[in-house]
Structure 1
Amino acid sequence: MQVDTAIIGAGAAGMMCAAHAKGRILIVDHARAPGEKIRISGGGRCNFTNMYCDAGAFLSGNPHFAKSALARYTQWDFIDLVDRHGIAWHEKTLGQLFCDTSAKEIIAMLRRLMQKNGVDLHLQTTAHSFAKSPDGFTFLLKSNGAETLVTAKTLVICTGGKSIPKMGATGLAYEIAAQFGLPLTETRPALVPFTFTKERFAGLAGVATDVRVTAGETSFEEALLFTHRGLSGPAVLQASSYWHEGEQIAVNLTPNADLYTELRDKRAQFGRRNLTTELSQHLPARLVDFLANETDLSGNLADQSDAKLHAITKQLSEWYLTPTGTEGYRTAEVTLGGVSTDALSAKTMEVTAVPGLFFIGEAVDVTGWLGGYNFQWAWSSAMAAASALRP
């Protein structure tokens, strides 16, 4: 089989690239259907981009690398594509855009675009034995026990990272990169819940509250969810990308309130009210009960001196916790790290030392925030590569 471009991985980035590249395009995936991560994303409605997407929302060894691709194919470009295909959408919060009905609409759109572009899609097929050749690249396709030798002028790798192995994640992109001598940055789970020993928060499982979580020097203000294993929720998932093993995180349980002033004023009006009763006006009652076992919240408001109120509110705004770890790749939404951007052209995603070889999407050391940013990187990096692929 001879093609102009072979794309390994029929996820978001791979399908987007295949839909817009020129020439004879082959796209391969070992899954039963393309776009499986799209299908399950956003609770089945696909948070396909973010209105506020820019390079500042991405982590990378080179914080400037993503700027070129994101600027050349923006969130507004993808929104326009979605609109032209009649897919209804809405903003949920913080610029996060979701399909009104189903993530399957995004997959169907990409499949229509690939079909229109004459793309040859091979599913339940694996690719291996990649090699550079005088005409480009060769590799073997294996399907139903039979193998086919493929020759491609250009090769695009977009098999993602290690996240959610039950969806088929394998780390194949890193193996191919290493085979061609490309540098890799350390990979670890990102956008992932924290775990704690001895089921510390098991009694709070299901309780959610708005907080500000800080890891390192970066803070996120959204919801926190207590689980049987530890902490989850958007604020926690965001902070996990900036956390390193052994470090503390800081949780501000009252990010939008001057709790000291409010408690002091309530003391003057309702001195006989129990302190925990008043705190339950600001925090979930189960959480207040839990905190009362960890710190002294006894007595009525009238019993609390200014110094005691200061101490209590400081504890609630600076609750320091040390996770034992994370839930790992099993539940991580993305993989942090990957193919080093030092090896790639920021304009085209081509490997500078291996002409004709491209890496796009999650396989690259570019990781976005929660909320549609990683899908936008998939679309943008795919279009950067597609613009450079010629028959």
Structure 2
Amino acid sequence: MTQNTAHHSEPNSTSVKPNHQDAGKKPSTSQAKSSVDVLIIGAGASGLYCAMTAAQRGRSVLVVDHANKAGKKILMSGGGRCNFTNYVVEPENFIGNNAHFCKSALIRYNPWEFIGLVEKHRVPYHERDYGQLFCDNSSKDILNLLLDECAEAGAKVQLKTSITAIKPLPQDSDKSGFMVETSKETIHCRSLVIATGGLSIPTMGATGFGYEVAEQFGHQIIKTSAGLVPFTFTDKVGEVIASLAGISLDVIAFNERISFPRPMLFTHRGLSGPAMLQLSNYWQVGESIHINLVPSVDISELLRQAKAEHPKQLVRSVLSEFFPKKLLLALQDLHWSDLKDKELANIKDETLDAIGDKINNWTIKPSGTEGYRTAEVTRGGVVTDEVSSKTFESKLQPNLYFIGEVLDVTGWLGGYNFQWAWASGKACGEVV
């Protein structure tokens, strides 16, 4: 990832240009001014967890969001069942320019603590492959859990509220902190927490607002891109893939840096499924990806053995047990169409090896990804070297905090991004 170092030189700049609705509406002078200890912008996973944690410490807390509903991405996650954490969460499950940044918060808040909260609220859940935990019923159970904890602790959540300006106050004044103008009122807060998430799924209300606030106060932004997202193809391979839409199989997807043994799904637009989503976090534009379509078998060896034992067989006959017929014929058209009716006895061993390599190491170059429209997360974000890994406070602006996905921390598919939201929200909530 490249680093975009452009940022405002004046940290006391009084306005941001949010993409929120009503951003142009300034509060009238007759609107009341309110004051809270902690103002959190963003009523998503990290923002709500931070709010309940701070309120439980006796802080007055207000969460504002421009959306008409809290936790929209929570509701749609995991196919509506919310993959809320994973039994095993390690720093290696996250990417970012500073690999060590996530360690402190993750160590201090492990998955079992959130599972304890889930069980306290009697939310039924189950485990799927690779330690992933999902709600039995609905993602609403997780959102309601967070909103109930906020309400019980006294944290208020205010929706349909846009931010029009943020002004830092002198640190030595009686009212240190920030004056925040919203579409409804002007709010004074001692601590301001940015929990606005990334750019993924704009139809859910995602904007770059958090990055704009960060830049207003001199923070650098690691260039953002779509993560955990399906690949697209525009060449002949893309046409073949589209013709196989709906077919799924277990593969190993890999590149020079990492490999993932997971299911892959052919779609009308390209390749999706957990294997592809995981690999997309480690992919850069212009790179090829590799797919082992039959991870359990060395296909070159199998074909040579079949040639020795059943020389009259065809290649597709040997491979028929591994693929649905439609996929097998498509692979044949792509990789050995001129040999499709040739008996194994008449095919050179080197040619069989080449076919085997196409199966165990299918190398293709995506034209791109489906982008933020379907991405589950945003790669890149606020540079973490400029934020405390213990408190999440800005090192450039006192009393300003960044948590969750707005930071340059991106988790794997499988509950890791939610665990990051809980862990960063908790760490911040304990100090604001």
TM tier, shorter chain?
Answer: over 0.9
Q: Secondary structure at the match of 1:94?
A: helix
Q: Please say which of residues 176-185 and 288-297 is displaced more in the overlay.
A: 288-297
Shift of 1:269: 4.5
How does 1:180-199 map onto structure 2 within 5 Å?
A: 180-198=217-235, 199=238
**1:253 matched residue in structure 2:** 293
TM-score normalised by L of structure 2: 0.86
Shift of 1:272: 3.5
**2:30 matched residue in structure 1:** none
**Residue type at the aligned position of 1:261:** E
Match of 2:389 among 331, 340, 346: 346
Shift of 1:85: 1.2
**2:143 matched residue in structure 1:** 107
Q: Aligned partners of 1:320 and 1:364: how far apart in 2?
A: 33
Q: Secondary structure at the match of 1:225?
A: strand
**2:250 matched residue in structure 1:** 210
Q: Secondary structure at the match of 2:278?
A: helix
Q: Aligned partners of 1:11 and 1:125: how far apart in 2?
A: 14
**2:177 matched residue in structure 1:** 136
Q: Over residues 244-286 of structure 1, what are the superposed CA-to-partner deviations in whole Å (9 max), with x where a residue is unaligned?
A: 1111111111112222333344445544333213212112222
1:15 and 2:34 are equivalent in the alignment: no
Q: Aligned partners of 1:263 and 1:91: how far apart in 2?
A: 38
Q: Over residues 291-340 of structure 1, what are the superposed CA-to-partner deviations in whole Å (9 max), with x where a residue is unaligned?
A: 11122252234444433322211121121111111111111110000001
Q: Aligned partners of 2:287 and 2:247: how far apart in 1?
A: 24
Q: Aligned partners of 1:303 and 1:291: how far apart in 2?
A: 20
Quote the sequence identity (%). Answer: 48
**2:302 matched residue in structure 1:** 262
Q: Over residues 223-252 of structure 1, what are the superposed CA-to-partner deviations in whole Å (9 max), with x where a residue is unaligned?
A: 111111211111111111111111111111
Q: Over residues 44-81 of structure 1, what are the superposed CA-to-partner deviations in whole Å (9 max), with x where a residue is unaligned?
A: 10000011111111001100000000000011111111
Q: Secondary structure at the match of 2:381?
A: strand
Q: Secondary structure at the match of 2:168?
A: strand
Q: Aligned partners of 1:43 and 1:273: how far apart in 2?
A: 44
Shift of 1:370: 0.5
Q: Secondary structure at the match of 1:125?
A: coil
Match of 1:159 among 175, 179, 196: 196
**Residue type at the aligned position of 1:15:** L
**Residue type at the aligned position of 1:53:** V
**Residue type at the aligned position of 2:193:** V
**Residue type at the aligned position of 2:360:** S
Q: Aligned partners of 1:216 and 1:190: how far apart in 2?
A: 18
Q: Secondary structure at the match of 2:129?
A: coil
1:175 and 2:208 are equivalent in the alignment: no
Q: Aligned partners of 1:188 and 1:167: how far apart in 2?
A: 17
Match of 1:282 among 322, 331, 341: 322
Q: CA RMSD in A?
A: 1.4
Q: Is the contact made by 2:51 and 2:155 (CA closer than 8 Å) also made in structure 1?
A: yes
Match of 1:367 among 410, 413, 416: 410
Structure 1 residues without counterparts, runs of 5 or longer: none
Structure 2 residues without counterparts, runs of 5 or longer: 1-33, 171-175
Q: Is the contact made by 2:218 and 2:396 (CA closer than 8 Å) also made in structure 1?
A: no
Q: Is the contact made by 1:193 and 1:237 (CA closer than 8 Å) also made in structure 2?
A: yes
**Residue type at the aligned position of 2:169:** S
TM-score normalised by L of structure 1: 0.95
Q: Aligned partners of 2:140 and 2:343: how far apart in 1?
A: 55
1:382 and 2:425 are equivalent in the alignment: yes
Shift of 1:218: 1.2
Match of 2:399 among 353, 356, 370: 356
Q: Moved runs in structure 1, 4+ residues, more than 6 A?
A: none
**Residue type at the aligned position of 1:331:** T
Q: Over residues 179-222 of structure 1, what are the superposed CA-to-partner deviations in whole Å (9 max), with x where a residue is unaligned?
A: 11111111100111111115422111111111111134111111
Q: Is the contact made by 1:164 and 1:332 (CA closer than 8 Å) also made in structure 2?
A: yes
Q: Secondary structure at the match of 2:378?
A: strand
Number of corresponding residues: 385
1:322 and 2:358 are equivalent in the alignment: no
Q: Is the contact made by 2:300 and 2:354 (CA closer than 8 Å) also made in structure 1?
A: no
**1:3 matched residue in structure 2:** 36
**Residue type at the aligned position of 1:184:** I
**2:9 matched residue in structure 1:** none
Q: Is the contact made by 2:254 and 2:291 (CA closer than 8 Å) also made in structure 1?
A: yes
Q: Aligned partners of 1:315 and 1:325: how far apart in 2?
A: 22
**Residue type at the aligned position of 2:61:** I
**1:64 matched residue in structure 2:** 100
**1:236 matched residue in structure 2:** 276
